[in-house]
């Protein structure tokens, strides 16, 4: 397989991932991970010179530690050791089985933990392969263009469905959705759809900045704007894409999505003006953007707290769900109840009438519930290490295109991380796949024609 065909395969998967094929579902999720795994194996033949990025060895060590920890979670242990390390697990086993087995794992449901490990392995393997494939700048841009195209197609499809007031479509939508209430694409949940769009919106803005060379020190603001409108006519096509995606986020009705997207865009704007080297206005720009960012944060917190404290009919009572999840975490504080076990043991800690809750509606809280303090910190170290590596490399670069795309990637990851406080969209295969692609695009662009070997 040539690199061109391989990249076409990845782009095809990007466009197909928002379908049920890459969303929640009984059979679709395993099929999607199998497709990503198959694509990763095919990509091994294309890997070449190793791409060096900051803290690579430490990040690799963190991945090994996570897999070691997950293996320890479903490793059978003698009863006396299990009682010492995870008394919460032993308490549940005592209730379910009498007499309890002589050996049992820390994970309440080792099969689910193994399934989680396999899914995590697929994403890590895909990340590893794509990072090691040598990509030209235009090839990195082509992947980003496909993500933007996917968002545009989803919003247009959502508009057609929204206008007709029909949420029923073969395999794509649930029958119990309120027709015409919120915009959704082929991702049925409007919050998840907003999450998907708000990760791509900063990328669309970044491409607009990169192609217009708006981030650069060699011309005034008026000259840059003139260049954007005259010399770079093809760049104008990105403007309706940005507006369309932004409108899609607004019509999802997601308070978190709207406020987080605004915050991400203003952060991008602040950095854009700063790196454009408008020396005389830097202090004023910094002050204006600081005030605007604080206002957006306060407005977003007010909007989200209103949703959390006053759930409407059919919505999750976040305060009860989070309280129960914290109680679950307190029962398995060190090693967790086992990754993937949350939806099966949450009801044991449900103090209200929450119904069947499959996720904590807070990715961080669910990660610490499943993995305890050790597992939760390991995952935070992994993501934090990659982001810190990307940020350090991005600061060291001077190329306007690299600067713009890196800014968009950082804003996209910021949006995902912030929104994860109010949902579980990162558990959706299509969204976790997109998250990995965005991370890889940022690392590849930041390290393009500039190895950081001597800085490790």
Predicted confidence (pLDDT) per residue in 172-231, tens digit: 544 444 545 688 888 878 889 999 999 999 999 888 888 776 555 555 556 555 655 554
Cβ count near 239 (within 10 Å)? 13
Distances (CA, A) of 110 to 38, 89, 107, 116, 210: 25, 11, 5, 10, 47
Angle, helices 282-309 vs 318-331, to 10°: value is 90
Overall domain count for the chain: 1
The pLDDT of residue 102 is: 75
Q: What pTM value is reported for the model?
A: 0.87
Tens of pLDDT, residue by residue over 407-438, are: 999 999 999 998 998 888 898 999 999 999 99
Alpha-carbon distance 101 to 120, whole Å?
Answer: 29
Which percentage of the chain shows pLDDT scores above 90? Answer: 33
Query: How far is Cα 301 from Cα 409, in angstroms, rounded to an integer?
Result: 24
For 170, list phi and psi in degrees, rounded to 5: -50, 120
* Residue-range definition of the domain harbouring residue 430: 3-455
């Amino acid at each position: 397989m040539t690199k061109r065909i391989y990249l076409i395969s990845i782009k095809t998967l990007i466009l197909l991932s928002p379908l049920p094929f890459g969303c929640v579902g009984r059979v679709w999720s395993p099929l999607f991970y199998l497709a990503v795994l198959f694509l990763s194996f095919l990509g091994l033949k294309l890997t070449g010179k190793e791409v060096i990025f900051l803290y690579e060895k430490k990040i690799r060590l963190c991945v090994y530690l996570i897999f070691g920890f997950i293996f320890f979670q479903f490793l059978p242990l003698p009863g006396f050791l299990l009682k010492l390390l995870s008394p919460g697990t032993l308490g549940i086993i005592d209730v379910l089985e009498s007499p309890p087995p002589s050996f049992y794992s820390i994970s309440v449901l080792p099969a689910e933990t193994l399934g989680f490990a396999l899914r995590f392995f697929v994403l890590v393997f895909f990340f590893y392969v794509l990072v090691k494939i040598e990509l030209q700048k235009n090839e990195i841009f082509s992947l980003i263009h496909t993500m933007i195209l996917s968002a545009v197609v989803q919003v247009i499809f959502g508009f057609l469905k929204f206008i007709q007031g029909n949420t029923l479509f073969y395999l794509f939508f649930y029958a119990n959705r309120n027709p015409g209430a919120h915009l959704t694409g082929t991702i049925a949940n409007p919050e998840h759809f907003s999450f998907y769009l708000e990760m791509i919106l900063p990328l669309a803005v970044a491409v607009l900045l990169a192609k217009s060379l708006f981030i650069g020190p060699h011309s005034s603001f008026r000259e840059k704007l003139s260049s954007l409108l005259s010399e770079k006519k093809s760049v104008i096509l990105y403007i309706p894409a940005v507006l369309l995606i932004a409108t899609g986020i607004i019509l999802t009705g997601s308070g978190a999505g709207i406020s987080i997207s605004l915050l991400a865009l203003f952060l991008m704007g602040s950095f854009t003006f700063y790196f454009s080297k408008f020396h005389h206005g830097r202090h004023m720009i910094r002050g204006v953007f600081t005030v605007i960012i604080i206002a957006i944060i306060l407005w977003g917190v007010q909007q989200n707290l209103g949703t959390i404290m006053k759930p409407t009919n059919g919505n999750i009572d976040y305060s009860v769900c989070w309280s129960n999840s914290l109680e679950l975490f307190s029962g398995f504080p060190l090693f967790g109840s086992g990754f993937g076990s949350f939806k099966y043991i949450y009801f044991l800690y449900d103090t209200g009438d929450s119904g069947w809750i499959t996720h904590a509606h807070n990715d961080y809280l669910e990660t610490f519930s499943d993995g305890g303090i050790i597992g939760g910190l390991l995952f935070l170290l992994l993501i934090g290490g990659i982001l810190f590596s990307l940020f350090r490399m991005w600061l060291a670069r001077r190329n306007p295109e690299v600067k713009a795309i890196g800014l968009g990637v950082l804003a996209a990851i910021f949006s995902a991380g912030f929104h994860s406080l109010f949902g579980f969209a990162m558990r959706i295969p299509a969204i976790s796949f997109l998250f990995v692609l965005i991370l890889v695009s940022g690392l590849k662009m930041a390290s393009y024609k500039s190895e950081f070997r001597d800085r490790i």
